[in-house]
Structure 1
Amino acid sequence: MANIVLAHGAWSAAWAWKKMRPLLQEAGHQFYAPTYTGLGARAHLATPDVDLSTHIQDIVSEIEFEDLNDVVLLGHSYGGMVATGVADKVASQLARIVYIDAFAPKDGQSLFDLVGPKAEGNMRKGAERDGEGWKMPVNPMPPDTAPEDVAWAGPRRRPQPIKTFEQKIKLESTEPLPPRDYIYATRNGPGDPFRQFADRARSEAGWTCHELDTSHNPHITCPNEFMALLTKIMAGGK
């Protein structure tokens, strides 16, 4: 079946996809979920110098060292920044990119550019107050997350190096991109930063937009429904 590579979200890591792993394996897929430098099981490698390019290279290296082709690249949330950078480097090895309630930057944009000055200011203040100026404290999980999932995920989440949100992405490749799908979580609350990308996916060539009746973390809150949509997307469905 498919070679699926994950670019996970901020403050998170491969562990957060624990519910999805058996579903993907049962469907016959090979699932690769590298954890970014400085997060999850690699939190001990966090330094002030870890930036977006570091995380892009984490995923590129996984694809290259595992000799992967025809990759379905999943980018969740901040992972959309990473997936966009990965596609710029290894587009010929990708079959499809699936953005999951994710940021989809254009050349020269940072994540801070995409969330706006208010959200940026709040995160910078948190880093100054609780993260030595360079570690952004974890943000709250969506309010509809089950208490047992909050209890499981909370202790595993780690501060995010601020340069990963500050660095502007640089896109240089002239290779054509594979088909891109956008999964928009319709239960996002006020100040939703992801609607802009869903709207773009509905109107821009090369994109297909899908909706899922969930909040921001479908891999945690509704894995079976999420898996059904991924299966449809990978089969070429709209």
Structure 2
Amino acid sequence: MVITGVADRVPERVSGLVYVDAVVPQDGDSCWSLVTERERAWYLDGAGRTGYSSAPLPFFDGRATPHPLASLLQAVRLRGDLSAIDRKDYVYATGWPTPSPFEPVYRRLLADSSWRVHAVHSGHNVMRDAPEELLTILVGSTG
């Protein structure tokens, strides 16, 4: 959500974007609107203690901390689209133990020639599960 908003506001300062097993929002989308009921249940189940934050999802690193619930609900407001950004990469993790909430994004971007799409055998934490492969993608996206 954040990198999309930044790229929309200051595209002249962004030369490329890399989304790692994530949503790629369009105007008016929120994380909440782009994930499945299963993820929404995780967010709400974890919000029981304070009502303000969602506990780390069950497959997150043990060092993860609660996430502000409002940031999952807030819609991004975009003035344009990402066409001004020259390099756009999407990294899709194929090793989810359950169906990935990001498969619709992956399929949509596979059909869009302005994106380079990479399928990585990893769980959602690609940095932990496939660091070398992710590094190769990141280095390749810079030039």
**What TM-score, normalized to structure 1?**
0.55
- Distance, in Å, in 2 between the alignment partners of 1:178 and 1:85 is 16
Q: Counterparts in 2 of 1:111-150, with a 5 A limit? A: 111-127=31-47, 129-130=48-49, 132-141=50-59
Gaps of 5+ in 1: 1-80, 143-152
How large is the Cα RMSD of the aligned pairs? 1.9
Q: Specify the SS of the correspondent of 1:182.
A: strand
Matched residue, 2:73? 166
User: Residue 229 of structure 1: CA displacement?
Assistant: 2.5
How many residues end up aligned between the 2 structures? 142
Give the 4+ runs in structure 1 shifted more than 4 A: none
Gaps of 5+ in 2: none
Q: Counterparts in 2 of 1:67-216, with a 5 A limit? A: 81-127=1-47, 129-130=48-49, 132-141=50-59, 153-154=61-62, 156-173=63-80, 176-216=84-124
Larger CA Rg, structure 1 vs 2: 1
Whether contact under 8 Å (2:92, 2:120) holds in the other structure is yes
Q: Which residue among 132, 139, 142 is the counterpart of 1:224?
A: 132
Task: Say yes or no: does 1:233 pair with 2:141.
Answer: yes
- Distance, in Å, in 1 between the alignment partners of 2:44 and 2:23 is 19
User: Residue 122 of structure 1: CA displacement?
Assistant: 3.7
- Distance, in Å, in 1 between the alignment partners of 2:35 and 2:70 is 15
Q: Specify the SS of the correspondent of 1:187.
A: coil
User: Residue 116 of structure 1: CA displacement?
Assistant: 2.7
Whether contact under 8 Å (2:24, 2:105) holds in the other structure is yes
**What TM-score, normalized to structure 2?**
0.87
User: Residue 178 of structure 1: CA displacement?
Assistant: 2.8
What does the per-residue CA deviation read over 1:17-51, in whole Å, with 9 as the maximum and x for residues that have no partner?
Answer: xxxxxxxxxxxxxxxxxxxxxxxxxxxxxxxxxxx
Identity %: 30
- Distance, in Å, in 2 between the alignment partners of 1:138 and 1:205 is 34
What does the per-residue CA deviation read over 1:82-108, in whole Å, with 9 as the maximum and x for residues that have no partner?
Answer: 111111111111111111111101111
Amino acid at match of 1:83: I
- Distance, in Å, in 2 between the alignment partners of 1:108 and 1:173 is 12
- Distance, in Å, in 2 between the alignment partners of 1:179 and 1:198 is 16
User: Residue 184 of structure 1: CA displacement?
Assistant: 0.9
Larger helix percent: 1
Amino acid at match of 2:120: L
User: Residue 207 of structure 1: CA displacement?
Assistant: 1.1
